[in-house]
Amino acid sequence: MTTDTYYPLMSGVARIVDLFIEELSKYGVKTILIAPYPQKEALRVHRDGLSKKILLNSFSLKFIYSDFRAPRPFDPLIALRLNIRRILEPSRYVIHAHTPYVATEQLRIALRPLRWKPPIILTYHTLVNVYTQTRFGIFYKPISKVDRFFLARSLLKSKVVIVPSKYAKDELMKYLPRRAKIVSRRILVIPNPLPRWEYKIPSKKASEIYDFLEDKRYAIWVGRISHEKNLPYILKIFAKLPYKLIVVGKGPLLEPLRKVAPPNVIFTGFVDDETLKALLYSARCFVISSEFETFSLAALEAMAHRVPVVAYAQGGYSEFIEHGRNGFTFKSLEEARRYIKQIFKSDELYEELSENAYRTALKYHPDRIIPIHIALYEKLAVPGPP
């Protein structure tokens, strides 16, 4: 597996990569992860059971994204060439790339002396065009042009391209240069799996952790507090509602938004997994409004905790949110407020939405999703280098 997005940036891609490594080991699949890491930690090979991690030298790209570190050119390539023979074992291989840029390309170059080209399966997780347009404004077009070139190059070299939703496929096709649209024949829609621990009832309620909270009497938003997540829109919704909104997460916009948020919005910052589970399980509803999401693990994790989702009608999550059955979709501030009020005022409606939300989340259990990927690996895998 390869990724350009890994810790210290706490991203959805990093979480999915770690989930894959953990779940694949349960099926006896060995994984080798190639990922960037802070330099003091880098150029090491970490082994844990059936998995190995090659942590590459990296450098900061704060002007693109706070906390983001990219693999440093040449150093990772040298490290890979020195280690690749030692790391590879007699087996069959595919490259499952979770980002289409540096780590995958440098792995390909490092393998050339071996005269070996394992097939690449690329999962396209992130709508980069939505982020760059929101983040860079008038500079969007030149940045987008460069990104489209490298993205198209990577897609054209991939045997299969996986997207987690039809929405992601449609947005990708609109974004690509004309010559790259031939990849549409290689695209498979396979949703991301949820961590299995998300389905477990937490040991504590939110009211046992925060004395200012009353269970089932607040809404919740979870994510990275950054430009592309459209959190200011959620704050506008709750500025005219009598209910509390708990905002969980950190990011570059945390302090600016904290200063302008209405008094019924409470920011917790980063919380540990058990606290997050308690906050989700005790919430009345989960609210989201980002067009950036190709899928939204956060929304599905809420549903796994039996929390109905109120979501903007455009985004990958709109494909698993059934309006009026396991949540609601909205197109305006007024609609969002109306649906949130309905959930808070009617216990009967809440119970129905809650049960259906949980049933929906079960469709994305790792025991359903991971075998689909393993079948694809088995179909495409080739023997190791001669």
pLDDT band at 66 (very low <50, low <70, confident <90, very high): low
Average per-residue pLDDT in the chain?
89
- Apex CA 258: angle with CA 255 and CA 259, to 5°? 90
Q: In this predicted structure, what is the pLDDT of residue 342?
A: 98
Percent of the chain with pLDDT strictly greater than 90: 57
Assess whether pLDDT exceeds 70 at residue 325. Answer: yes
pLDDT average, residue stretch 287-296? 84
Q: Is residue 177 scored above 80 in pLDDT?
A: no
* CA atoms within a 13 Å half-sphere pointing along the CA-CB vector of 166: 4
Better-predicted residue by pLDDT, 289 or 37: 289
pLDDT band at 375 (very low <50, low <70, confident <90, very high): very high
CATH (one of 3.40.50.720, 1.10.10.60, 3.40.50.2000, 3.40.50.300) for 196-364: 3.40.50.2000
Percent of the chain as helix, strand, coil, to the nearest 5: 50, 20, 35
Q: What is the CATH class of 12-193+367-383?
A: alpha beta
The token pair at 162 is 């996986």
Long-range contacts of 327-333 (CB under 8 A, 24+ apart): 327/285, 327/286, 327/303, 327/353, 327/357, 333/233, 333/236, 333/237, 333/240
Q: Is the pLDDT of residue 29 over 80?
A: yes
Mapped onto helix, strand or coil, the DSSP state of residue 125 is coil
The predicted-structure confidence for 96-127, as pLDDT tens digits, reads as follows 999 888 888 888 888 888 888 999 999 998 87
**pLDDT score, position 98:** 94
Specify which residues 285 forms β-bridges with: 219
Q: What confidence tens digit (pLDDT) does each residue in 185-217 have?
A: 899 999 999 999 999 999 999 999 999 999 999
Would you state the pLDDT for residue 382? 96
* Sign of CA pseudo-dihedral 207, 212, 217, 223: negative
Mean pLDDT of all residues in 136-157: 82
Q: State mean pLDDT over 328-338.
A: 96
Q: Which residue has the higher pLDDT, 83 or 384?
A: 384
Lowest-pLDDT choice from 179-188, 239-248, 362-371: 179-188
The three-point CA angle 254-228-221 to 5° equals: 55
DSSP 178-242: GGGGGGGGGEEE-PPPPPGGGGSPPSS-HHHH-TT--TTSEEEEES--SGGG-HHHHHHHHHT-S
The sign of the CA dihedral 270, 274, 277, 278 is negative
List of residues 6+ apart from 212 with CB closer than 8 A: 266
Please tell me the predicted confidence (pLDDT) of residue 284: 98
Give the model's pLDDT for residue 9. Answer: 62
User: CATH 3.40.50.2000 region(s) of the chain?
Assistant: 12-193+367-383, 196-364
pTM of the full structure? 0.89
State how far the Cα of 128 lies from the Cα of 375, in Å rounded to an integer. Answer: 29
What is the Cα gyration radius of the chain? 21
Which of the pair, 351 or 180, is modelled with greater confidence? Answer: 351
Mean pLDDT computed over 124-132: 77
